[in-house]
Structure 1
């Protein structure tokens, strides 16, 4: 006999925390676990270069494969969650991340790096990407969706950055293999928690989504690949999709592709120790929590297009200034950059997801956002490789920073070209 769906009474709401918040908490921990290995490129580029003699371009190529697969997997993962459930997909993704990280301990050549670090970890983390955050917030929340999206987005970005000081210190004290083993263990340790507490839909436990007065419509369990491609086909016929995808490609280029991957080696070029540079990125991660949650709050109240334009514009200015701030010590201007950039790091996600929902509906919105995220990672992969080539050819990263700043100005313009009618619906 199916469970009866009931809205909690006022007394229950005073006494009990809605199950949706527990699901969001588990998703937060799971996303951080998956993000662990995503943090490693910045601190392992120089150690791998020293250990194997591989060029920055070769190592960056593996990062590019990782980033692109991370993005291309996301829309299919969102559809697979509709077919097989979030719990199975997320648990399997964490196991894949743990295996990919652990197998690098035995690699001898660069093609193995591409398979383990690029393909396996790319597929695993892609299944735990921001589309997962969108699926959780869409299924479990009617009220506070923007806030929850901001919190879960912060989990991914902050998990990557907070792991950096730990990994950098492990590399400095021991070697890169110890760092890879620790990440593998951390990702694997989250699997039991996911299997125990994560649930696919509130209806599965006889509850309603947070803020809902009736059950939300379920998506038919059709072929995941077919549905993901069908949703893409419908979305690609709209201008809104291309404006959001173009802006998010630049978002990925200016964050995961450039800063996460190349900030530490760029600071190392100027004499700053890798541990100190990784510590700066960890501070970015701390302020990212504040910035992304605040962005979720703002998204529930203000014009999402204008929020995106402001975020991209400010990010572009900060990247153009960054090359002037690098030195062999931690100066106040660099500290200001870290705080400012942290607040803006992934603040773009809540308004972008809100616009996807407004344009394509609650059922297709997370899948469309998965495709928009794919463009994010294609942009990230392109600049990760491009910056590595620039560094090998010119001996400096400066042109990459200036180019990313200019692209952010273009992203601000693209955001304002999204259909104005969506502002009232987002």
Structure 2
């Protein structure tokens, strides 16, 4: 999955070192070092359990564990032309697995770790990471998708079943709906809803096909026209139009937004910055939308996040990196990340037996969304994510640059043709 997400602090470069007798934030680094690339918001959770890792794996107690803040969606780019200079351990979204596998960056899990993973994690997560019968990374979360957050003082549970209703309430109250139309990850939601497909044929990534140029794609782009375009809605240009791509947190905090579409990762920030968030802000599966007399459900990409080991590092270091990745994705590690960030675990014992996690409304909504309308997020063609990809016509509708639905449909056909690949 792409992201995740530009919202995962792609530019953060904060460092923390923990090792030997060193306190958090400092180390003489005289011994061996394991560098970990990790989302900023998850670092505190993993830092706390480093002593437990060293207790479980005393052979690696001499290692200094150095964290560098880096969102999952940024790792592929950060590895650059020479991935051997990157981190020893890093977290990635599911839709980066094929590309990194083809670059020989991912260290396959040895049999002992493979047995651990297949015993403790949900089958979807490790099966997704299995390429040519090898598991290429440790499942870390099973929560990578999006759904609706809404202000329950402005909208009812019945209101949020329909995008038409949400939009009409927002218009009547002169308030807004947050939707990141500058990101193909979210823009895919209407296309998923109408039944479009977009995938590589297999891990070789030699053939990519899509039905964006099908009747289903045309229905989705027409729906975007109906809901988003300033021309259709006689609305002023963003950011004052009803549907905007401004962040939901400040909008909720200031009382200007009534709903928005994000994933589990947004909840910790909402709780911190929005007064009375735990009683005021609710979640629901994505609403239905209408186009051409038909009703569809908005859909989500979904997948897992993984902790991977860099296969291009020193052979002496890789065993320690594998042990660290195993521990960060163990029950203890996944619980630490949940406590720090509200991330949904892939660990079966946590999802089935931990009462707090079982009853967590955010995680329950994510799983309900996947069950209702979800599309497994494998790697996408580069053109899918590009500024000239599917987000482009939607962004131009929202800003008033796209003047007719016919133009939008023609542009979508061009986009579909440009991202199809057949090198078989």
TM-score normalised by the chain length of structure 2: 0.23
Structure having the higher helix fraction is: 1
TM-score normalised by the chain length of structure 1: 0.23
Structure having the higher strand fraction is: 2
Rg larger in structure? 2
